């Protein structure tokens, strides 16, 4: 889900090919990049504030989301494009190499960054990347994804979200889903939500990492899972990635959005993981 803020610490903009990227910088010290997709910088603000006590913390709105404007709003958002955006932001801030912490689609972006620009990162922490191509039931999951996207684009917003949560294995009562996504809603949130369904979901979930390249990468790769995510789709995909990279997954507090729901505990765990790098 998407969140937004109107005021941000150190808010700036960087012109990149085809877009203007909104980004925020907090604190001083070793560089940590916090990134989501489609979640924007606002979702990471409480966590960023905690880490900024002794780190330079970079957050951003992914291309086409909220304040990061595209020259062509109909352009698809791919992991490769988002990785290149991150590379330009890290180079622009000039504080790398970085620890890059990505969650969900942002974890996919971070893994693509490790493949395309490994010199800019020394640690990637990929928290629950939704890489369904690593699972044996990928064809069924692809079909479910296409049904979800089709429902949303046909105007069945609540039905699409119900399909999404069902496939994700996230149990939310139907009346709650109807309350969350029915009635009057924030216009920017709806715009970003539609972009995610129409131009981002496929590219993020259907992306297949170059496992050999990730194994060869000089940077450290940590695969994160939520302590409360057991059995959910992104728990399955994260464990599949860890197995393919011959590493053990690292547990973080909370579920898929633990960095939002319990940012203080998440920050403590994140600091411990970063200190091992």
Per-residue pLDDT tens for 237-252? 999 999 999 999 999 9
Q: How many residues does the chain have?
A: 277
Which percentage of the chain shows pLDDT scores above 70? 96
> 208, exposed or middle or buried, with CB in 10 Å at 0-12, 13-18, 19+?
exposed
Which whole number is the average pLDDT over 120-130?
97
pLDDT (0 to 100) of residue 10: 78
pLDDT (0 to 100) of residue 2: 41
Per-residue pLDDT tens for 87-107? 999 999 998 799 999 999 999
Domain at 11-135+207-275: CATH code: 3.40.50.1820
pLDDT (0 to 100) of residue 8: 53
Question: Is pLDDT at 7 greater than 50 in this prediction?
Answer: no
The Cα–Cα gap between 104 and 275 comes to 23
Per-residue pLDDT tens for 58-92? 999 999 999 999 999 999 999 999 999 999 999 99
- In whole angstroms, how far apart are CA 255 and each of 72, 130, 152, 239, 271? 34, 14, 25, 14, 18
CB 235, CB 251: distance < 8 Å: no
Per-residue pLDDT tens for 175-184? 999 999 998 8
pLDDT (0 to 100) of residue 70: 97
- In whole angstroms, how far apart are CA 174 and each of 147, 159, 229, 268, 273? 18, 10, 20, 34, 37
Which percentage of the chain shows pLDDT scores above 90? 93
CB 88, CB 16: distance < 8 Å: yes
Per-residue pLDDT tens for 134-188? 999 999 999 999 999 999 999 999 999 999 999 999 999 999 999 999 988 999 9
Q: How confident is the model at residue 276 (pLDDT cuts 50, 70, 90)?
A: confident
3-state SS, residue 169: coil
C-alpha dihedral (101, 241, 264, 272), degrees to nearest 10: -80
CB 209, CB 111: distance < 8 Å: yes
Question: Is pLDDT at 1 greater than 90 in this prediction?
Answer: no
pLDDT (0 to 100) of residue 5: 38
Domain ranges of the chain: 11-135+207-275, 138-199
pLDDT (0 to 100) of residue 121: 97
pLDDT (0 to 100) of residue 183: 85
The average confidence (pLDDT) of the chain is 94
Query: What residues form DSSP beta bridges with 209?
Result: none
pLDDT (0 to 100) of residue 3: 38
């Amino acid at each position: 889900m998407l969140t937004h803020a109107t005021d941000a610490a150190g808010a700036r903009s960087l012109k990149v090919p085809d877009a203007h990227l909104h980004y925020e910088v907090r604190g001083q010290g070793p560089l940590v990049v916090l990134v989501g997709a489609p979640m924007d910088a606002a979702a990471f603000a409480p966590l960023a504030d905690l880490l900024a006590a002794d780190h330079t913390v970079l957050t951003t709105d992914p291309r086409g989301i909220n304040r990061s404007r595209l020259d062509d709003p109909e352009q698809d958002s791919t992991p490769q494009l988002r990785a290149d955006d991150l590379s330009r932001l890290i180079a622009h801030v000039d504080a790398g190499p970085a620890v890059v912490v990505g969650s969900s689609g942002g974890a996919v972006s971070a893994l693509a960054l490790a493949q395309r620009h490994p010199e800019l990162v020394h640690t990637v922490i990929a928290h629950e990347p939704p890489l369904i191509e690593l699972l044996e039931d990928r064809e069924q999951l692809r079909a479910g994804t296409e049904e979800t996207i089709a429902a949303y684009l046909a105007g069945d917003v609540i039905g699409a979200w119900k399909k999404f949560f069902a496939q994700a294995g996230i149990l939310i009562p139907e009346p709650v889903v109807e309350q969350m996504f029915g009635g009057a809603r924030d216009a920017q949130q709806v715009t970003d939500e539609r972009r995610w369904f129409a131009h981002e979901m496929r590219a993020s979930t259907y992306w297949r990492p170059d496992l050999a390249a990730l194994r060869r990468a000089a940077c450290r790769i940590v695969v994160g899972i939520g302590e409360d995510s057991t059995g959910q789709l992104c728990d399955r995909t994260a464990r599949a990635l860890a197995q393919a990279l011959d590493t053990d997954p690292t547990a973080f507090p909370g579920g898929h959005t633990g960095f939002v729901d319990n940012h203080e505990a998440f920050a403590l765990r994140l600091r411990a993981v970063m200190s091992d790098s």
